[in-house]
Amino acid sequence: MNLLHILQSRLHAALGGLVSDPSPYSGMVRSSNDPKFGDFQANCAMPLAKELGRPPRDLAADIVARLDVADFCETPEIAGPGFINFRLREDWLATQINAVADDPRLGVAPVTKPRNIIVDFSSPNVAKPMHVGHLRSTVIGDALTKILTHLGHHVLSDNHIGDWGTQFGMIIYGCKHFLTPDAYSADAVGELARLYRLVNNLCDYQLAKVEAPKLQLALTTKQAELAQLEGAVPSDAKEKKEFDKSLKKLRKELEDLRESTNSTTSKIAAIESNAATLSFAQSHLDIVRLSREETAKLHAGDAENRRLWNEFLPKCVAALQTIYTRLSIHFDMTLGESFYDPFLADVVADLKAKGIATESDGAMCVFIEGNAAPFLVQKADGAYNYATTDLATIKYRVDELNAEEILYVVDHRQSEHFDLLFATIDKWGYRSQQGEPLKLSHVKFGTVMGKDGKPFKTRSGDTVGLESLLDEAIAKARQIVAENDDRKTDNDGNPTPELPEAERDAIAEVVGLGGIKYADLKHNRESDYIFDTDKMLAMTGDTATYLQYAYARLCGIFRKGGVDRADFSSQPATIQLTHPAERALALQLLRFEEALTHTAAEAKPNLLTQYLYDLAGHLTTFYEGCPVLKGDDPEVRTSRLHLVNLTGRVIEQGLALLGIGVCEKM
Ligand code: ARG
């Protein structure tokens, strides 16, 4: 049940007689911040009164008179300048909460119009170590897949791995020149990653050597330009404004140039500071061109390069799979870039035939109105690229998988690519099999930062490998679980730890992984966030640990009361809402579907974490005001146990939809 939707549709009906299109106004219902103002509040009367030229309180009274909500609300009240306050009826709330408790879906109705949705997420470039950015895509994508599926949509998760890119040319080049066979037999993927890094650094070095003098010159020129400008401050106020603007612009340009120069310098130093790599650099002067050629040969079907690629790829994919297994992430498909290679020529030919792609400097481009950069679908040397592959992927997803909607959970830095991709699809006139325009969205997310406020990296400068992060979080969780258990005492203060070592290990796994995932999910995905294992495992505050602990605690109440939870759950609920804290908790529980629907609509898992965090807050307030086991009225005790049990089920289900587990003891 979606309470907000029910209220909005009733409001819509009431507004129908007052304004020709009520839509902009009927959505203006929110939950109240203060119980004093009821449970929900509509603030549409004020803006509508302005449009109609009527006094707002008058209009509010008119709306209330037309509102048909008596079946579930008290008579709405008008407050302040024209707010309409709704208070749910006690008897209705009690009936609903018992129905939700008796419902295996916890009151979450499946959508009436399921859509075919593909969630494209994780999608790392294989043979390069996977890093925290890919973790973010993986965790958010998995949560969205689970939530949309739970709501009744037909969802396919697809790991669009980068298995056809230039990194393979580098690895093949590295394999032909720098391979250490022993290292390869001991740890093939580790050796491939080393080769990739080595060749990539050597390529960067050669490019930097060419760039460095140019940058140096540009820097000197810019510095002189700035000095000249700084020496010519105008006295006229109007001119001064323009002057300040130019000064600011110039300073920014200089700053950018400095940054590029520094990055070039460090790329050069990385090679020259080491005698071995320097000698490689000197004997592989043409490495950039030659490794590009290896990629081109692979794409053209060269037998040796294909053989190597066929040997490497399964090993790289297996290495990725170990991480997914640890994180319990499932993909319905892993169709990487290479899968689409046979379709690329046709895509470009079709775009060309339809006049959508045109030639420009030998390359095939799609020009999008209002966008300076075109969408390059075939390079001048004939090679296809990321853009071509993504176009072919959409075609395949629609033609073969019947997709109506695709979500791309990808770093915000690829925004321009997706804008151009979606605009090109629009021009291409590509529609779903149902004849509707495709719904394509870039579910973008920000950067994972270190505590120093810079993109998260280890001391060596590498982006942190994922495995070690997971290990670290689990080790910390193990410590927290042990300390917590060691602190447990009986009524006389004697220590009563209850968890054997193996159970502590199992709990640490759930808490550690849950902590990492939750920290990623609870931030608005569009913002950057700081990766901090201590904060993410805190027992209080907005963490998975806090919610998992709330869950374990409620399981503890059942154990203490000698009530078997599974057994109890199978009995019809008999919840009575007498205390305000019970009422508030019940209302929050009734809003589970609303939270899920909102999360799915915005593709923002933080809306669900927020809901669960608030739910746990309501549970705490409830414990403070309402003893569960201690009361002597057996009916009240049973009612409260049902309420606690239902809260536990919603926490468990909510966390599961975020890919996070719970434990009965902690
Ligand atoms: N492999 C890309 C990367 O690591 C992400 C791919 C995202 N999906 C897509 N269909 N473009 O940056």
- The radius of gyration of the chain from alpha carbons, rounded to an integer in Å, stands at 30
Mean pLDDT of 445-466: 72
User: What pLDDT shows up at residue 35?
Assistant: 83
Judge whether residue 462 has pLDDT over 60: no
Neighbours of 597 (CB within 10 A): 19
Tokens linked to 631:
């009361």
Neighbours of 112 (CB within 10 A): 6
Characterise 107 by phi-psi region: left (phi > 0), alpha (psi -120 to 50), beta (else): left
Split at pLDDT 50, 70, 90, the class of 459 is very low
Amino acid letter at 517? Answer: K
Q: Does ligand 1 have an atom closer than 6 angstroms to the CB of 442? A: no
- What is the DSSP track for 102-158? T-TTTT-PPPSS--EEEEE---PBTTS---HHHHHHHHHHHHHHHHHHHTT-EEEEE
Grouping H, G, I as helix, E, B as strand and the rest as coil, residue 245 is helix
Q: Does ligand 1 have an atom closer than 6 angstroms to the CB of 410? A: yes
User: What pLDDT shows up at residue 453?
Assistant: 82
pTM value?
Answer: 0.92
What residues have CB less than 8 Å from 374, skipping those under 6 apart? 360, 365, 366, 367, 368, 420
User: What pLDDT shows up at residue 460?
Assistant: 44
Nearest CA to ligand 1 atom 11: 390
- Between CA 85 and CA 103 the distance in angstroms is 29
- Between CA 645 and CA 654 the distance in angstroms is 14
Q: Does ligand 1 have an atom closer than 6 angstroms to the CB of 340? A: no
For 54-58, 389-393, 640-644, which range has the lowest pLDDT when averaged over its residues?
A: 54-58
User: What pLDDT shows up at residue 458?
Assistant: 47
Whole-number Å distance, alpha carbon 340 to ligand 1 midpoint, is 14
Query: Would you report the helix, strand and coil content of the chain in percent, each value rounded to 5?
Result: 60, 10, 30
Q: Please report the atom of ligand 1 found closest to the CA of residue 410.
A: 7
Whole-number Å distance, alpha carbon 337 to ligand 1 midpoint, is 9
- With the C-alpha atoms ordered 306, 307, 310, 316, is the resulting torsion angle positive or negative? negative
Which of 124-133, 454-463, 516-525 is predicted most confidently? 516-525
Q: Does ligand 1 have an atom closer than 6 angstroms to the CB of 136? A: no
Q: Does ligand 1 have an atom closer than 6 angstroms to the CB of 162? A: yes
Q: Which residue has the tokens 């470039």?
A: 125
Q: Which residue has the tokens 């403070």?
A: 624
Q: Does ligand 1 have an atom closer than 6 angstroms to the CB of 120? A: yes
User: What pLDDT shows up at residue 632?
Assistant: 82
- What is the DSSP track for 77-98? EEETTTEEEE-B-HHHHHHHHH
Pairing of strands 363-366, 357-360: antiparallel
Q: Please report the atom of ligand 1 found closest to the CA of residue 393.
A: 10
Q: Please report the atom of ligand 1 found closest to the CA of residue 133.
A: 4
Q: 232-282, pLDDT tens digit by residue?
A: 888 888 888 889 999 999 999 999 999 999 999 999 999 999 999 999 999
- Between CA 650 and CA 664 the distance in angstroms is 15
Judge whether residue 72 has pLDDT over 90: yes
What is the maximum span of the chain, computed from C-alpha positions, in angstroms?
87
Grouping H, G, I as helix, E, B as strand and the rest as coil, residue 55 is coil
Average pLDDT taken over every residue of the chain:
94
- Between CA 522 and CA 655 the distance in angstroms is 12
- Between CA 473 and CA 534 the distance in angstroms is 9
User: What pLDDT shows up at residue 461?
Assistant: 45
- What is the DSSP track for 474-529? HHHHHHHHHHHHHT-B-TTS-B-----HHHHHHHHHHHHHHHHHHHHHHS-TTS-E
Whole-number Å distance, alpha carbon 298 to ligand 1 midpoint, is 20
430 burial (CB, 10 Å; 0-12 / 13-18 / 19+) is middle
Grouping H, G, I as helix, E, B as strand and the rest as coil, residue 320 is helix
User: What pLDDT shows up at residue 536?
Assistant: 87
Whole-number Å distance, alpha carbon 441 to ligand 1 midpoint, is 14
User: What pLDDT shows up at residue 663?
Assistant: 97
- Between CA 392 and CA 340 the distance in angstroms is 6
E strand map for 148-255: 154-158
Q: 194-243, pLDDT tens digit by residue?
A: 999 999 999 999 999 999 999 999 999 999 999 998 888 888 888 888 89
Q: 510-547, pLDDT tens digit by residue?
A: 999 999 999 999 999 999 988 888 888 888 899 999 99
Tokens linked to 194:
């080393």
Split at pLDDT 50, 70, 90, the class of 448 is confident
Q: Does ligand 1 have an atom closer than 6 angstroms to the CB of 390? A: yes
Q: Does ligand 1 have an atom closer than 6 angstroms to the CB of 546? A: no
- Between CA 165 and CA 126 the distance in angstroms is 9
Q: Does ligand 1 have an atom closer than 6 angstroms to the CB of 124? A: yes
Q: Does ligand 1 have an atom closer than 6 angstroms to the CB of 122? A: no
Helices (H) and strands (E) in the chain, counts: 25, 13
- With the C-alpha atoms ordered 601, 603, 604, 609, is the resulting torsion angle positive or negative? positive
Whole-number Å distance, alpha carbon 409 to ligand 1 midpoint, is 9
User: What pLDDT shows up at residue 464?
Assistant: 58
Instruction: Give the phi and the psi of residue 125 in degrees, each rounded to 5.
Output: -85, 115
68 burial (CB, 10 Å; 0-12 / 13-18 / 19+) is exposed
Nearest CA to ligand 1 atom 4: 124
Mean pLDDT of 135-161: 97
Q: Does ligand 1 have an atom closer than 6 angstroms to the CB of 548? A: no
Neighbours of 367 (CB within 10 A): 17
Q: Please report the atom of ligand 1 found closest to the CA of residue 165.
A: 1
Q: 165-208, pLDDT tens digit by residue?
A: 899 999 999 999 999 999 999 999 989 989 999 999 999 999 99
Q: Does ligand 1 have an atom closer than 6 angstroms to the CB of 160? A: yes
Whole-number Å distance, alpha carbon 124 to ligand 1 midpoint, is 7
Q: Which residues face 410 on adjacent strands?
A: 444
User: What pLDDT shows up at residue 305?
Assistant: 97
> Which of 163, 391, 397, 410 to mutate for ligand 1's pocket (most ligand atoms within 8 Å of CB)?
410
- Between CA 201 and CA 284 the distance in angstroms is 12
* Dihedral Cα 397, 399, 405, 407, nearest 10 deg: 10
Q: 8-19, pLDDT tens digit by residue?
A: 999 999 999 899
What residues have CB less than 8 Å from 266, skipping those under 6 apart? none
Split at pLDDT 50, 70, 90, the class of 451 is confident
Judge whether residue 439 has pLDDT over 80: yes
Q: Please report the atom of ligand 1 found closest to the CA of residue 390.
A: 10
Q: Does ligand 1 have an atom closer than 6 angstroms to the CB of 659? A: no
Letter string b/e over residues 431-455, b meaning 16 or more CB atoms within 10 A of that residue's CB: ebeeeeebebebbbbbbbbeeeeee
Whole-number Å distance, alpha carbon 666 to ligand 1 midpoint, is 38
> Where is pLDDT greater, at 456 or 613?
613
User: What pLDDT shows up at residue 534?
Assistant: 85
Mean pLDDT of 580-604: 97
For the range 360-369, what are the long-range contacts, defined as Cβ-Cβ under 8 Å and sequence gap of 24 or more?
366/420, 366/423, 366/424, 366/427, 368/420, 368/423, 368/424, 368/427
Q: 320-352, pLDDT tens digit by residue?
A: 999 999 999 999 999 999 999 999 999 999 999
